[in-house]
Structures are given as C-alpha cells and as structure tokens.
Amino acid sequence: MPQSATAPPHAMTRRTAGQDPLTVAHRGYSAVAPENTLAAVEAGVRAGAEYVEIDARTTADGVPVLMHDSTVDRTTNGSGVVAELDAAYVTGLDAGSWFSPAFAAQRVPTLAQALDVLAESGSGVLLEVKGPQPRAGSRAIVSAVLEHDLADRVLVQSFDERVLRDARELAPELPIGVLRSTMDADPVAAARAFGAVAYNPSAATLRPGAVGELTAAGVSVMPYTVDEPEHWQALADLGVDAIITNRAGEHADWRADRLTRASGVAASPSGAGAR
C-alpha cells in the first residue's frame, strides 16, 4: 500500500532520513483523471500522495477556480480567457470529456470545492497560484485557504514573484514555495528573499550541488514534473524532498515497494497505481 499522508504540512516538505522523496500528485492524479478536477483531486488522495498539487486562477468576477492554462480551451468544452469569464460560465463547463467520456460529468471546480475535499483528507495542498494575478485575486485565493482553516495544510507556490510577495503580506502564516523553470545562480538567496520553505525547480534544470545547499539552509526541494522510475531513483539519490508527478499512484507504489524490499519482506501487490 502507498505510504500514508499523515505528516503535518510544514514537516511534510522535508522527508525523514532514509525515506524516499514524498509524492506530490500533479494537478491531482492527472494520469488517471482529468487534471484539476475533483476526480483528479480525490484520486490523488486515494493514491496516498502527501501533497495534491492544484492550480488556481480567478475569474472576471473574482472567484478562484482550478485551471492550469490562462484559457479554458484545452481542458473544457468552452472558450476564452479565465480572467475575462464569469465564474458561472467557467464552472458550468465540461472539464472531463477531453480526457475520457467517462469523466463527462466533471465540471471546473472552484478552489473552495477542491479545498472542501482536501480538508477531509490526510493530504497537504501544494497550491500553485497562476500569474499574472492582481492582488485582489491573490487575496481571494488566500482567503479561501484561511476560511477552510487550512493554513497549516497548504503550501502556496508560484512562478510569479508578485504573487509570492502578495501572499506573504496577506497571510504571513502560509508557507511559500518558489517555482522556477530554470534555477537561480543562488537558489538559497532566492528562497530567502521570499521567506520560502521550498524551492521547486524544473527537474530538467536541477543542479545536483544545489540540492545539498538548499537542504543545509532548511529549504525543501520539490522538482517537477517527473514520471519515470529511473528518474525518481536519480532524484532520490540527489536527496530531493518530494517529487511532483503525474503518476502519483505509481510513485507511491514505487516508494512502498522499495520500503518493503529494504525491510526484507516480500512485496505485496498494491492497487494504487491502477486507480
């Protein structure tokens, strides 16, 4: 079975000695369900992910919804820029048929709906706030987290530095993660500039030496998006704390199998990867 997601979120950003990198379900368990839907969020929880990663944007009328792209075109039956559309339109869209007819009933969820599900789970939330985001939008997203009493269960991350600054000012109690498509020359300084507890780079740009530097500075390293076991192994050897993956169930199974083999007990089949 996958390892249980029960650690408190601040601790969850750091793996313990001898533990493999924690599982972060990218856009939910997006290998088995349409990304950023409640079905994907629920599947990530069932897979045993310590974190379920979701993307939040705000609509024209200021409602935070789950959507990766700036437009709804790729993952729904609608069209248009999220920031220019009303929430009633966005949340009424079919967000599942593009993935499989079996998910035709899935609609674009509000952030509040996703947090309702996650609040009842043992998983933490890796909440990516998509930019550009006006301060009012960041306030609405942060408010949703606080209204769900999830300040100790949510790690807010973004590529947009304004979003990070706004989140820090609006809710200093929320832990921050710095997202990077390429690594900074001094990633420790970049993390400290935002008071971040995590530095989350593209795995393709991860410099091995930087992992040790960040770890020594008390900053977690959570690279994205990695779906192959041989790459999981390489990242585990580097000492990263968590791996953001589309294949959350398979990653959780991989960890459980390694733990079982390390303990000298014959592995038993797990169904997490098939969910």
d(CA 60, CA 188): 36
Residue 232 has phi, psi (to 5 degrees) of -60, -45
Between CA 219 and CA 212 the distance in angstroms is 10
Closest CA to 25 of 178, 271, 247: 247
Whether 67 contacts 85, CB under 8 Å: no
CB-based contact 28:37 (threshold 8 Å): yes
Catalytic residues: 26, 68
For residue 235, the cross-strand partners are none
| Angle CA 144–148–150, to nearest 5 | 100
